[in-house]
Amino acid sequence: MFDTFLLESIINGILLGGVLALLALGLNLVFGVIDVVWICYAELVMIGMYTIWWLFVFYGLPLPVAIGAGIAVVALLGVLLHILVIQPVLGTAPINQLLVTGGVLFFLQAAATLVFGIEFRNLGVRMPVVEFGDMFFSFARILAFATALVGVLLLWLFLTRSYLGTAIRAISQDREIMPLMGVDPRRIYLITSAIGGGMAGVAASLLVLQYDVHPAIGLSFGPITFMVCVMGGLGNMLGGFVAAFVFAQFISVGGYFFQIEWGYVIAFAFFIAMMFIRPKGLFSR
Amino acid sequence: MVAHLTRRGLIGTAGALPFAGGALAQQREIKIGVIYDYTGPFAGGGSLAAAIGTKHAIEMINERGGVEGHRINAIFADAQSRTEVAINEATRLMEQERVDLLMGVFSSAHCVPLAQRVNAQRRFMWANVCVASSVFKDRNLEYVFRAQVHSDQFGEASCQFIADVSQERLRKRPADVRVAIIYEDGPYGAGVAAGNEAKARQLGMRIVLKEGYAATAPDLSSLVTKLRRERPDVILHTGYNPDITLFLRQSRELGLRWSALIGHGAGYGQIDRLKQTFGNDADYIFNVDPVAAQLLNPASLRPGLGDITAEMVRRYRAETNATEVPPHTSMGFNQTWIFLTDVLPRAIRNHGGFTPDALRQAALATDIPEGGTIQGYGVRFFPAGTPMAGQNERSSPVVMQYVGGETKIVWPAAIKTAEPVIPLPAGHAYAAR
């Protein structure tokens, strides 16, 4: 007999994959170009969520304006992160880069606690319910899924069809040679950081429609986002995009057939197995 | 760390002691290390409300001259919603700050290892808020005491309530009621869920789903889908925040309906926040908890306790601007008040001071009848050698329901302030169609 609940779980897994793919996009871009892992990436998303909440609820700005401002703020944060934190340790041991961005993670968590308190904040926006047959889907998730698709497409067009995008790809392929050919890597790094931050802002604008924001929300998404990126091959945007959907299906369908915890266990077991089989990720370059 | 007195202040005080002379008698103090989660997800889930209750109880006692001539010097520590931090802070308080006892602790996940560790060191701990029965069950703790309700009682109360009203309200015998049990998978959620399951089976209810999840899980949609498939009449949920808000939000989006949703404390004890997030959709949610003291009729309590409750409420509102005072405030305040007005004075008077052994003997001699605390229940601890040694055997929870943004007591019948609204009224976002 046809199981509509299973079909619903599969589709919800695809929609969850959209959320994870969106989160992975910016992180992969930054790693692919600058070769630095922003451990504090989920905390940048958190700052974006707070910014949108603050402007929409506290200042009463229209939601699209608040979202636009939120994306801009996180893009700017990405630039500041690069100038103030990453740039001084570029060229040093990778562990230093991990540690400084890890420090920023705790700094942002503590700063958010001091500024916004420990309350759980939300926009208070009720999203419509999408009902199809006997199945139900989250409108916010559909929105996130569509945005992830559009985001990947736009990023791909930018990277392949524009001069700047070509320069970014060139730097990511050989950061020693390109400066000799007239490309200013510092400028490329700043632009990449701004785009990476902007992508975190886009993710924030969609997560804030689905989740309460609080200083520790990064704990819910940070580890999974990294696992998705590593599974797809750190720096490989297409790999991360596909890995997000694979990971989400394990969580959703695994959680449907077994206990919900088992969905995560299966996903993590698959991740560990893949690290043995393909240590550089499913789609390593 | 949130220190009430700064290190410099302490050093300054110590330096001034030789010159204090006759004033020394008034400066005797008892150092209490108070551990709560002031940051992290547990803070907004009730820990901060409980911490404020504890702080106000200590302030009120000090304003009244302290305990048997001793000023209470509370040193507050932030567990940051992390077990390892809670343990480190407890160690710091005991070994560096040299506190006389530990108090507080919101999360059962912190409470279980802390209680073991403190007891092994033969130090004294007074647990205020954590509820897991596993803190005490079969551990034979000697220096850890808890007047608070325990998780088995939470689990039993919700099932007994449903059994009591099912025929009249749901037109079903208890044996025909379809029950789903969902819970965060820490000691707190698992403990309450075990109590739910045992009582539901005893009452012959049909458990259609029992499932745990991590409180930090970013997605509960497959759990919601399974719940829709199993069509429970009643969902028994134990969680913190933000998992509760995620569950409620995804349930609405994914079309989950029920006749009754019964929460068991923590995030469900925060009606102001639920109302703020879900508006009228938060109406008619049930919550099992030790009662918020201000909901009780003061005439049913020992004379004078009504005034203390009123002062607790006044101070909480003045500090937080909240309209509703959550049960956690009462828990933090009540447990502290019981200790400072009953156990500690007896330890000093009858057992020679406030050493761990003196406090232990005083705690074991506690005998507060029903109506003797602001939350209504009495206090008498299970003695050493019994399976729940250290746990209050007279504690009891109530079932509350949120109606129009206000909290009503609906069970037990003897103290209820309103009739339960069950099943959900037609037109409610979660009402079965």
Pair (B90, B52) in one structural domain: yes
Residues B261 and B402 grouped into a single domain: yes
Chain B interface, best mutation among A9, A113, A247, A260, by max B CB count within 10 A: A260
Q: Give a yes or no: residue B310 inside a domain.
A: yes
Average of per-residue pLDDT across B197-217? 94
Q: What is the per-residue pLDDT for B239? A: 92
Is B236 a domain residue?
Answer: yes
3-state helix, strand, coil in chain A (%, to 5): 75, 5, 20
Mean pLDDT computed over A166-174: 83
| Nearest CB partner across the interface for B255, out of A16, A131, A217 | A131
* B211, B225, B280: best to mutate for the A interface, most A CBs within 10 A: B225
Interface test with A, best of B36, B82, B208, B219 (most A CBs within 10 A): B219
Same-domain check for residues B188 and B246: yes
Q: How confident is the model at residue A285 (pLDDT cuts 50, 70, 90)?
A: low
Please report the number of interchain residue pairs, chain A to chain B, with beta-carbon separation below 8 angstroms: 110
Which chain A residues contact residue B185 at CB under 8 A? Answer: 261
Residue B310 above 90 pLDDT? Answer: yes
pLDDT beyond 70 at A226: yes
User: Are B42 and B86 within 8 A, CB to CB?
Assistant: no
In angstroms, what separates the C-alpha of B426 from chain A's closest C-alpha? Answer: 18
Task: Fill in the DSSP letter of residue B292.
Answer: P
Q: Angle at the Cα of A99 (from A97 to A100), degrees rounded to 5?
A: 70
* DSSP bridge pairs for B368: B379
- Confidence check: pLDDT of B63 > 60: yes
B206 occurs within a structural domain? yes
Query: What mean pLDDT do residues B287-306 have?
Result: 92
**Arithmetic mean of pLDDT, B204-216:** 93
Strand partners, B252: none
Q: In DSSP terms, which residues pair with B403 in a beta bridge?
A: B406
B66 and B215 together in one domain: no
Q: How far is CA A35 from CA A86, A87, A236, in A?
A: 10, 12, 12
Mean pLDDT of chain A: 89
Q: Give how far A177 is from chain B: nearest CA, Å.
A: 42
**Per-residue confidence at B431, pLDDT binned at 50, 70, 90?**
very high
State yes or no: pLDDT of B5 exceeds 50.
Answer: no
Q: What pLDDT shows up at residue B76? A: 97
Looking at the domain assignment, is residue B46 inside a domain? yes
- If asked whether residues B202 and B226 sit together in one domain, one would say yes
DSSP code of residue B35: E
Query: How large is the average pLDDT for residues B386-411?
Result: 92
A97's torsion region: left (phi>0), alpha (psi -120 to 50) or beta?
alpha
Closest to A47 in 3D by CA, of A140, A111, A122: A111
Top mean-pLDDT range of A14-18, A272-276, B10-14, B86-90: B86-90
- The mean pLDDT of B226-235, rounded to a whole number, is 95
Distance from A125 to chain B by nearest Cα, in Å? 9
Range of the structural domain that residue B405 is part of = 152-289+398-415
Give the pLDDT of residue B11: 36
Same domain, B266 and B407: yes
| Gap from B256 CA to chain A (nearest CA, Å) | 9
Residue B24 pLDDT: 46
**Contact indicator for B78, B36 with CB cutoff of 8 Å:** yes
Residue of chain A whose alpha carbon sits nearest to that of B276: A124
The answer to whether A198 contacts chain B (CB < 8 Å) is: no
Q: So what's the pLDDT on residue A167?
A: 87
Average pLDDT on B224-248 reads 93
B79 and B127 assigned to the same domain: yes
| B425 inside domain | no
- Helix (H) / strand (E) element for A108: namely helix A94-116
Contacts B49 to A, Cβ<8 Å: none
The type of residue at B329 is T
Phi, psi of B398 (to 5 degrees): -130, 165
Residues B156 and B130 both lie in one domain:
no
Under DSSP, is residue B403 helix (H, G, I), strand (E, B) or coil? strand
pLDDT greater than 70 at residue B22 = no
Residue A124: its chain B contacts at CB < 8 A? 276-277, 279
Inter-chain CB proximity B246 and A211 less than 8 Å: yes
Question: Angle at CA B160, nearest 5°, toward B156 and B163?
Answer: 145
Q: What is the pTM of this model?
A: 0.84
> B185 with B105, same domain?
no
Taking a contact as any Cβ pair under 8 Å apart, which residues of chain A between 91 and 120 contact chain B? 110, 113, 118-120
Distance CA B335, CA B331 (A): 6
Q: Which of A16-25, A89-98, B58-67, B82-91 has the lowest mean pLDDT?
A: A89-98
Q: CB-based contact (8 Å) between A218 and chain B?
A: no
Nearest CB among A212, A251, A255 relative to B277 is that of A212
Confidence (pLDDT) at A1:
61
Work out the average pLDDT over B367-394.
Answer: 95
How much is the pLDDT for B17?
40
**Sequence letter at residue B227:** L
| Binary contact (B253, A136; C-beta < 8 A) | yes
pLDDT band for position A176 (cuts 50, 70, 90)? confident
Sign of the torsion angle spanned by Cα atoms A224, A230, A231, A232 = positive
DSSP state of A214: -
Tell me the chain B residues in contact with residue A5 when contact means C-beta distances shorter than 8 Å. Answer: 225-226, 228-229
Shortest CA gap B267–chain A (Å)? 11
Residues B260 and B304 reside in one and the same domain: no
Number of domains in chain B: 2
Here the tokens at position B16 are: 């001034």
Q: Which of A277-281, B170-174, B246-250 has the lowest mean pLDDT?
A: A277-281
A211 touches chain B (CB under 8 A): yes
Q: Which residues of B touch A260 (CB under 8 A)?
A: 211-213, 217, 220, 222-223
Mean pLDDT comparison of A181-190, A208-217, B264-273, B329-338, highest-scoring range: B329-338
Q: What's B61's domain CATH number?
A: 3.40.50.2300
| A1 vs B: CB within 8 A | no
Residues of B with CB under 8 A from a CB of A: 38-41, 43-44, 48, 81, 185, 211-214, 216-223, 225-226, 228-229, 241-242, 245-246, 249-250, 252-255, 273, 276-277, 279
Locate the chain B residue with the closest alpha carbon to A3.
B229
Ramachandran bin of B138, using left for φ above 0, alpha for ψ from -120 to 50, beta for the remaining angles: left
Q: Is A261 close to B241, i.e. CB distance below 8 A?
A: no
Cβ contacts (< 8 Å) between A256 and chain B: which residues?
A: 222, 225-226
Residue B41 pLDDT more than 60? Answer: yes
Say whether both B186 and B267 belong to one domain: yes
- Residue B228: closest C-alpha in chain A: A5
What are the distances in angstroms from CA B401 to CA B178, B270, B404?
20, 12, 10
Residue B15 has pLDDT above 60, yes or no: no
- Which residues have CB under 8 Å from A282's CB, separation 6+? A231, A232, A233, A239, A242, A243, A246, A274
> Nearest CB to B41: which of A110, A210, A214?
A214
In a domain, B391, yes or no: no
d(CA B124, CA A149): 58
Q: Is residue B421 part of a domain?
A: no
Mean local confidence (pLDDT), A41-61 = 94
Whether residue A32 has pLDDT greater than 90? no
> Would you call A266 an interface residue with chain B, using a CB distance cutoff of 8 Å?
no
- DSSP string of B129-174, one letter each residue: S---GGGTTTT--SSEEE-S--HHHHHHHHHHHHHHHIIIIISS-G
Q: Indicate the pLDDT class of residue B267, thresholds 50, 70 and 90.
A: confident
pLDDT in tens, B110-161: 999 999 999 999 999 999 999 999 999 999 999 999 999 999 999 999 999 9
- Distance, CA of A84 to CA of B77 (rounded, Å): 32
- Chain B nearest C-alpha distance from A168 (Å): 33
Contact A120 B228 (CB under 8 A): no
Most confident of A227-236, A272-281, B56-65, B408-417: B56-65
- B232 pLDDT above the threshold of 90: yes
- Name chain A contacts of B221, Cβ cutoff 8 Å: 9, 12, 16, 138, 252
Give me chain B's average pLDDT, please.
90
Question: Which residues does chain B have within 8 Å of residue A244's beta carbon, measured at their own beta carbons?
Answer: none
- What's the pLDDT band for A284 if we cut at 50, 70, 90? low
Q: Residue B323 domain-assigned?
A: yes
* pLDDT grade for B27, boundaries at 50, 70 and 90: low
Residues of A in contact with B277 (CB under 8 A): 120, 122, 124, 212
Mean pLDDT along residues A239-247: 90
- Measured in angstroms, the CA of A137 and the nearest CA of chain B are apart by 6
Based on the fold, state whether residues B126 and B175 are members of the same structural domain. Answer: no
Listed as own residue / partner, the contacts of A2-5 with beta carbons closer than 8 Å and 24 or more positions apart are A4/A133, A4/A134, A4/A135, A5/A256, A5/B225, A5/B226, A5/B228, A5/B229
- A24-28, B8-12, B243-247: range with lowest mean pLDDT: B8-12
* Distance from the Cα of residue A121 to its chain's centroid: 21
pLDDT at B137: 92
Q: How far apart are CA B2 and CA B92, in angstroms?
A: 13
Q: Do B218 and A259 touch (CB under 8 A)?
A: no
By mean pLDDT, which of A9-13, B116-120, B176-180 is the weakest?
A9-13
